[in-house]
């Protein structure tokens, strides 16, 4: 999506450790008009899928997922990061290692909100090593529901998450794919799509 690539080029800041900061339009201040364009594009890309639910993970996926959901006219469920893992069987749970915070979170979704008849689109802001998306897929599969695909705003193609998910047959659509970025020059190279 050209407008997203242009915005990343204009306002993205490349940090050491392969981290892209996009706080001015995506991760802190949010450009809702841009989110709306992203929603329209995901709707076009997944038009052939019988999606009835969107799943994301707190916190930074929630804003995008809510705007995307308006284009699909479906509810959003967000996986919650929790300290105390609930063992009473009312939740699906998994462990997700945060790429940016370098720690492992227990993540839960109530069994009330994903069921076997659901056809789920996963939405997230970034795809790096794929740990977050894999955790969400695991919980959808535990529920016996169907993963229709994964919609990502920014995929860092120099990390292997996206490639491995596609190799496993998961449909992954990323609106901008970065092939490389340099924290000394700030240069970002996007993959032609």
Binding site for ligand 5GP (CB under 6 A): 19-22, 27, 60, 99-100, 124-132, 156, 161
Q: Residue 86 CB, nearest distance to ligand 5GP (Å)?
A: 22
Alpha-carbon separation of residue 111 from 14, 17, 54, 86, 90 (angstroms): 39, 36, 15, 12, 6
Task: Select 44 or 166, whichever has its Cβ closest to ligand 5GP.
Answer: 166
Task: Select 51 or 128, whichever has its Cβ closest to ligand 5GP.
Answer: 128
Q: Residue 125 CB, nearest distance to ligand 5GP (Å)?
A: 5
Task: Select 92 or 126, whichever has its Cβ closest to ligand 5GP.
Answer: 126
Q: Residue 88 CB, nearest distance to ligand 5GP (Å)?
A: 27
Q: Residue 70 CB, nearest distance to ligand 5GP (Å)?
A: 21
């Amino acid at each position: 999506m050209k407008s997203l690539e242009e915005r990343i080029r204009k306002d993205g800041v490349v940090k050491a450790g392969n981290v892209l900061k996009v706080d001015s339009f995506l991760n802190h201040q949010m450009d809702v008009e841009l989110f709306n364009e992203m929603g329209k594009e995901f709707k076009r890309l997944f038009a052939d899928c019988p999606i009835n639910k969107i799943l994301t993970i707190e916190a930074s996926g929630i804003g995008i997922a809510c705007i995307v959901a308006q284009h699909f006219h479906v509810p959003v469920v967000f996986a919650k990061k929790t300290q105390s893992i609930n063992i009473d069987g009312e939740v699906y749970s998994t462990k997700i290692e945060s790429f940016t915070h370098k720690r492992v979170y227990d993540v839960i979704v109530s069994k009330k909100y994903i069921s076997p008849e659901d056809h789920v689109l996963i939405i997230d802001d970034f795809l790096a090593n794929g740990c977050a998306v894999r955790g969400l897929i695991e919980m959808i599969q535990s529920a016996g529901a169907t993963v229709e695909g994964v919609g990502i705003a920014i995929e860092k193609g120099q990390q292997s998450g996206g490639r491995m998910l596609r190799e496993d047959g998961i449909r992954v659509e990323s609106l901008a794919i970065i092939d490389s970025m340099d924290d000394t020059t700030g240069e970002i190279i996007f993959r032609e799509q």
